[in-house]
């Protein structure tokens, strides 16, 4: 069974690895242009086998059908600083030609009852294997850092309580979700100030690095010769 799972999951791992490189490359392009990158960072993972089996049981999905019916075996998360950046990232993803978007779920304008917010895209990504092309379902989640912090905590608590939160915990999570969204809203209002400060900080850091290189070069030039 272990060998069978390894063979089954190999294309998913390949898809995650390839997409991480491509999506991180988008951030690099913004940086090279000297413009604000709507992408803070990108992470990815393949769902662990126990999680696949657990979800298949909960959703009543046959193991023979998980390839077609389970959309998040391969998953990527794209983090943004500001809520407005999410829309920009989604627009860029829709312009790409290396995969097909087959489903969108906007949990930002229509949050879940729990308070969860994120923008989900399900794509079909073509992986080249020794047996030919294989199209893999991949879920891409686009969210702010605050949204991700809340979702990570909620996910951990969900495992602890097996989805059955005590009422007090559920109430506090909902309040925390609103607080996280309020944080995003306030940060958006001073977005210009934040970006200006980041540019100044970045230039200062680059200047310090240049000074270090210059001092090192001068030190090497004044060093005595071995001859």
Residue with tokens 């906007």: 106
DSSP 3-state assignment of 14? helix
* Active centre residues (catalytic): 139
Query: Residue 205 and residue 129: Cα distance in Å, rounded?
Result: 43
Q: What is the DSSP letter of 134?
A: E
Query: Residue 212 and residue 150: Cα distance in Å, rounded?
Result: 40
* Contact between residue 111 and residue 213 where contact means Cβ atoms under 8 Å apart: no
Query: Residue 188 and residue 80: Cα distance in Å, rounded?
Result: 12
* Contact between residue 170 and residue 205 where contact means Cβ atoms under 8 Å apart: no
């Amino acid at each position: 069974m272990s060998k069978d799972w390894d063979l089954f999951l190999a294309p998913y791992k390949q898809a995650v690895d390839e997409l991480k490189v491509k999506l991180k490359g988008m951030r690099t392009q913004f940086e090279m242009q000297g413009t604000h990158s709507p992408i803070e960072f990108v992470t990815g993972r393949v769902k662990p086998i126990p999680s696949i089996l657990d979800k298949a049981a909960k959703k009543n999905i046959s193991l023979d059908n998980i390839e077609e019916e389970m959309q998040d075996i391969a998953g990527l998360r794209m983090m943004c600083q500001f809520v407005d950046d999410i829309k920009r990232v989604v627009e860029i993803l829709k312009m790409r030609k290396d995969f097909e978007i087959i489903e969108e779920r906007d949990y930002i304008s229509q949050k879940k009852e729990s308070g969860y917010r994120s923008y989900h895209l399900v794509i079909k990504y073509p992986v080249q294997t020794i047996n030919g092309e294989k199209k893999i379902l991949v879920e891409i989640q686009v969210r702010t850092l605050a949204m991700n912090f809340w979702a990570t905590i909620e996910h951990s608590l969900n495992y602890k309580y097996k989805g059955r939160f005590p009422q007090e915990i559920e109430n506090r999570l909902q309040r925390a979700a609103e607080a996280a969204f309020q944080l995003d809203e306030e940060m958006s209002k001073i977005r210009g100030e934040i970006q200006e400060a980041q540019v100044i900080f970045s230039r200062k850091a680059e200047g310090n690095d240049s000074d270090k290189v210059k001092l090192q070069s001068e030190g090497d030039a004044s060093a005595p010769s071995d001859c």
